[in-house]
Amino acid sequence: MPRPASRGRVLSAAASAALLLPLLSGAPPAGADAPAADSLQRLFASAAERHGVPQSVLLAVSYLQSRWDGHAGAPSVTGGYGPMHLTDAATALARSAPHHSEDGEDARGDDARPARTGAATAALPTAAGLPARLRTLERASALSGIPAEELRTSAGANIEGGAALLAAAQREAGLAPSPDPADWYGAVARYSGADDTATAAAYADDVFDVIRTGEERVTDSGQRVALPASPAVAPETGQVAALGLRAPERGPVECPPTVPCEWVPAPYEEFGDGDYGNHDKADRPVSQSIDYIVVHDTEATWDVTLGLVQDPTYVSWQYSLRSSDGHVAQHLPLKDVGWHAGNWYVNAKSVGLEHEGFLTAPDSWYTEAMYRSSARLVRYLAKRYDIPLDRQHVLGHDNVPGTVTSSIRGMHTDPGPYWDWAHYFRLLGRPLTPGAGPRAGVVTIRPDYAENRPVYTGCASAEEACAPHGSGAVRLHTAPSADAPLVKDIGLRPGGQDSTTGVNDTGARATTGQSYAVAERRGDWTAIWYLGQKAWFHDPAAAPASVGARGTVLTPREGLAEVPVYGRAYPEASAYPAGVPVQAVSPLPYRLLAGQRYVVGLKTPGEYYYAPVFDTSGHKVVRGQEEYYQIQFGHRIAFVKAADVRVFQG
């Protein structure tokens, strides 16, 4: 997602109206009776029977696409509609500039050299030029005879369209519409839209994993849907070979066997005037540890994303993940440093994952297929580099701090408040469960994603409210009242103005998985220490927005009224060898005051990776004696000098 006020968030009035039509037309008329709680389950059953598709197959495919949610008729991040994620991506094409293309934004984040602004552009494809996987709604309409608008807005019609696509895939494979789900592996693989056998098979494997283990949940429309476990189902996996898909071109990828990966290299080449693209050679983890994994979204289609990362004048990251089927492309060896986070210290010590998508208006959602593929990749990276699976180390791009005061306002805000961190961490095998009692001195933010629906503005236009949607973020107030002003972020607004409800405004937001020290409790409200102030969020016992946690915290050491806060952990001046310019240890405008406490993420020596030119012979890692603690300071992390603080168990 782009930074605040980027041109990628600005839609024309006509485009905004067009995007809102599916949502409005999909709403029930005033006074209409609410549907029975099992009506969606019955729609799956009837569509499966009419099209000769096993109900378990239809339910599992839908779960992998949408977790059975309808999202009120609004599109996914890649233009998919309804429980079956029927795609009509043309409406998403004109609404965004690519993720790193905002004027002046420096994804490299190294002020020792000129900014790399990612100024490259790429032509957006026309609707006719979109791949078939992004136009499945069109084909479902032709197969079922159901108008496209109805497929977008009616859950029943959408399920019928998805069943028709599965039945057609079975016929085209020359197979009978068998009642045995094991006979549908090839059709499921075809439904993924993948163009290579490895990705299609990985998608089908996930679907059949859902069939074997079963699932049950209440959807975003209040519908209870259940898929009983069928552990004995053993699909005919050889069917994928008959689909005519290309063989995967894995190349030198660094992925687990369970993740479908291909090698799409980013260029490392000189192109004049001392500039080069679009990353830096390194020798991680020998030279520096890899401490972070950074989750992004692309704000571009898959094909545009791949085109940009292969442009030497653009920027780079390690992996891209495709929304429709979870396919992964790797662009850089993990030992090298990508230019993606806008903070050179974080870039030098992180792996960047770009997830295909747009923070669309009026809604936004990501497929289960992409969540699962991403989680498998992150588990692999965490094990390989000994990265703890927690929110101090698995960051959103919106958690990366500005390096200096002047860069704070330009930092990105993706993947945004609609990324489901709680579900993601369940898939990572680290569910966010209580680690301490309800009166603990540390809390981890953990609202119920589906029920937590704070009002955001700015999805379609600056003042317009976004469509109601589940969110993992809670809003922070100056007092224990929903009417109290939101807390201020003086880095974002040096003039002292209040934070806003804007979807890109991170100034008064705490997100699922982030841990904070408790400052006070009063009735149904909890206050945390946040950006040097008390910040209150609604946290009633009947519907808590946090869970008790254990953690190490810090506070200014005795005798200090306040300590400075930094956006990077750079070494002291005396650590720099001859020929390497000293980098300023420049504090941010915030202060950590005596009596306040903040949760510690890691302890690290000051480090700076000096790599200003194409020739790697002069590259150096400068490591100092000064040590830093990373803390959860606001919505973004920050660093404080170890010598300035006292550390203890919260």
Q: Where are the alpha helices (DSSP H) in 1-145?
A: 13-26, 39-51, 55-66, 136-144
Kind and range of the H or E run holding 344:
helix 344-348
Q: Which residues, listed in sequence order, are joined to residue 269 by a DSSP beta bridge? A: 277
The alpha helices in 220-299, defined as continuous H runs, are: none
State how beta strands 292-297 and 394-396 pair: parallel
Peptide bond into 158 cis (omega under 30): no
The answer to whether 499 and 486 are in contact (CB under 8 A) is yes
Beta-bridge partners for 328: 261, 321
Rounded to the nearest 5 degrees, what angle is found at the Cα of 417, between the Cα atoms of 326 and 27?
Answer: 85
321 touches 296 (CB < 8 A): no
Question: Which residues are within 8 A (CB) of 45 and not within 5 positions of it... i.e. 6 or more apart?
Answer: 55
User: Rounded CA gap, 308 and 316, in Å?
Assistant: 8
Token duo for residue 127: 């609707």
**CA–CA separation, 294 and 227 (whole Å):** 34
What pLDDT does 468 receive? 83
For residue 136, CA distances in Å to 88, 207, 228 come to 7, 18, 28
- Encoding tokens for residue 35? 């549907």
Check: CB of residue 418 under 8 Å from CB of residue 471.
Answer: yes
Which structure tokens are listed for 227?
């898929």
Tokens of 402: 């500005």
Q: Which residues contact 322 (CB under 8 A, 6 or more apart)?
A: 199, 302, 328, 329, 356, 370
DSSP H or E segment with residue 427: helix 421-427
CA 628 – CA 639 distance, rounded (Å): 6
Q: CB 611: neighbour CB atoms within 10 A? A: 23
What secondary structure does DSSP assign to 360-372, as a single string? -SS-----HHHHH
Single-letter amino acid, residue 179 = P
Give the Cα separation of 506 and 552 in Å (integer): 25
**pLDDT computed for residue 467 by the predictor:** 80
Is the distance from CB of 84 to CB of 64 less than 8 angstroms?
Answer: no
Give me the average pLDDT of each 10-residue run along the chain (650 residues).
32 26 31 72 98 98 95 83 91 54 69 69 61 91 96 96 98 94 98 94 97 95 96 97 89 94 95 89 97 91 90 94 94 98 97 82 74 98 98 97 95 92 97 95 96 89 83 97 98 95 95 98 98 98 97 97 98 97 96 97 97 94 98 98 96
Single-letter amino acid code for the residue at 113:
R
Q: What is residue 15's predicted lDDT score, i.e. its pLDDT?
A: 28
DSSP calls for 445-457: E---TTT-----B
Nearest-angstrom CA–CA distance, 170 and 176: 7
In order of their start, the domains of the chain are 35-93+130-243 (1.10.530), 418-550 (no CATH), 556-649 (no CATH)
112/345 Cα distance (integer angstroms):
12
Residue among 372, 411, 322, 374 nearest 76 (CA): 322
